[in-house]
Chains A and B, each alone.
Chain A
Amino acid sequence: MLDSVSNPLALVAELTHRCPLHCVYCSNPREMQSRSNELSTETWSRVFKQAAEAGVLQADLTGGEPLARPDIVELVRNARAAGLYLSLITSGLPLDEVKLELLVDAGLDHFQLSFQGAREEAANDISGTKSHQQKLRVLQWLKRYRIGLTLNFVIHGRNIHELEEMLAIVKDTGAGCVEFASVQYYGWAFANREKLLPTHQQLDYCVERLKRAEEELVGKTRVVFVVPDYYAKYPKPCVGGWGRKLMLITPSGDALPCHAAPIIPGLKFENVKNRSLREIWERSEAFQKFRGEAWMQEPCRSCNRRAQDFGGCRCQAMLLAGDPTATDPVCSLAPQRPRVDAILAKINQPQSAGAEAVPPTTLRTKPEWLYRPNPS
């Protein structure tokens, strides 16, 4: 166990689960909160203050779509006044030029715009709504302001072949960073997993192309590639270690150590309406549950990577091994790794003889997506 608990550094504020997009890989839970359960402007503003006092440096305003909150400008202003560095994680809908100006004036530090692809029809298919053209408009408006800008392309087996066009979109935006974030398989993405996983070949292409992009864009735009967990050799240090750096607040005020934590049976979450953030961070059962190393099983317990990756993701261990204290099954050392290998083998199985150039069958047909609905 840790001798003393360090400060939280990052706050993820899920302002709402409402969203005009219906992305088939949304990381929101399958059961979403309705508008009537959302925290008030006052409660969120108090949370921002408490966060800054507890040592948090940065807050991500996210959702759902954070712009769906009518009080978004006020929330930005209050969070900034509390002393936080403020990022808006958004699809760019619903936004107009006036609202953008108000957000910048309120002190927004960083605008992160998500993209579902580079081609309009395919991107709209993934998001279940007409959204792509609006994102391109938002990019034009953003050029008027000196504000941090990150473009986030969510990539998967069905859009990796658009990589060149995605890079073309990045080129004259002035973005300081572009993320190519592989879909990770939680929430809605878990339900659509077999239709989204890339092949080995696609991944190799991606790694090679992005390495070149990094050189092409050096000093202009930082290129970040997030590998899909299932193809990694070792797991990611999920949320920088359970209860070590990050706190997530759901639209209704529950404080979670990780966005997927509610899938772990028996975890009880405290609510910011009843407890201060610092109290929750230091004492709540959910934050203590997998803090430190006492909960670890072998091979994590004696592994010399345990202080680097903290055993990987507890929620992924739950999803894939049915045990939240297991080694993350994506780890090559995990006893449950064969389950992941079996999933990948299906995606990578050779198609009919001599047809190597043909894309896998899964890419030739339009899938029956399970779309994320919009909560009332």
Chain B
Amino acid sequence: MSVDLNSKPRLAAGCRMGENNNQRVLLMPERALRLNGPSLEIVSRCDGEHSVSQIIGELQLLYSKAEPHKVEQDILGYLALLQKERALDFEM
């Protein structure tokens, strides 16, 4: 399953951000995911407004020391994982 660069990811039904002991978490039915650094930057842009390619562009700027292609691959991998976990809907 691949992620469409033009689609706009947003948190799926039953998923929202939360905070505990100064740690941001993604709350999902029956489970939670700790968000740190890049994962927090990605998930907080999954708002149904940013397209996947916009998220990639913004993070390539944010992590300008990293190799841009590597940043893209990491983001696509992470979004695919969240999609498999049913944490995201992808709007066209």
Pairing of A with B: yes
User: Pick the contact of B14 from A55, A149, A219 — CB < 8 Å?
Assistant: A149
Decide: A109 and B14 in contact? CB cutoff 8 A: yes
Interface: B18 (CB within 8 A): yes
Q: Which chain B residues border A177 with CB–CB below 8 Å?
A: 29-30, 86
Decide: A58 and B27 in contact? CB cutoff 8 A: yes
Q: Which chain B residues border A87 with CB–CB below 8 Å?
A: 29-30
Decide: B20 and A110 in contact? CB cutoff 8 A: no
Decide: B86 and A55 in contact? CB cutoff 8 A: no
Interface size on B, residues (CB 8 A): 19
Q: Which chain B residues border A85 with CB–CB below 8 Å?
A: 16, 18, 27, 32
Decide: A57 and B25 in contact? CB cutoff 8 A: yes
Interface: A176 (CB within 8 A): yes
A-B CB pair tally, cutoff 8 Å? 60
Decide: A176 and B21 in contact? CB cutoff 8 A: no
Range class of the A interface residue count = 20 to 34
Instruction: List residues 97-144 of chain A with CB under 8 A from any CB of chain B.
Output: 109-110, 112
Interface: B1 (CB within 8 A): yes
Decide: A150 and B84 in contact? CB cutoff 8 A: no
A318 vs B29: C-alpha distance when bound (angstroms): 31
22 A-B pairs with C-beta separation under 8 A:
A7-B21, A55-B20, A57-B18, A57-B20, A57-B25, A57-B27, A85-B16, A85-B27, A109-B16, A110-B14, A112-B29, A148-B14, A148-B29, A150-B30, A174-B13, A176-B13, A177-B29, A177-B30, A218-B84, A219-B83, A219-B86, A222-B85
Where the two chains meet, the residues of B that have a C-beta atom closer than 8 Å to any C-beta of A are 1, 12-16, 18, 20-21, 25, 27-30, 32, 83-86
Where the two chains meet, the residues of A that have a C-beta atom closer than 8 Å to any C-beta of B are 7, 9, 55, 57-58, 83, 85, 87, 109-110, 112, 146-150, 174, 176-177, 218-222
Known: A58-B27, A219-B83. 15 other contacts (CB 8 A): A55-B20, A57-B20, A85-B27, A109-B27, A109-B29, A147-B14, A148-B14, A148-B29, A149-B14, A174-B13, A176-B12, A176-B13, A218-B1, A219-B84, A219-B86
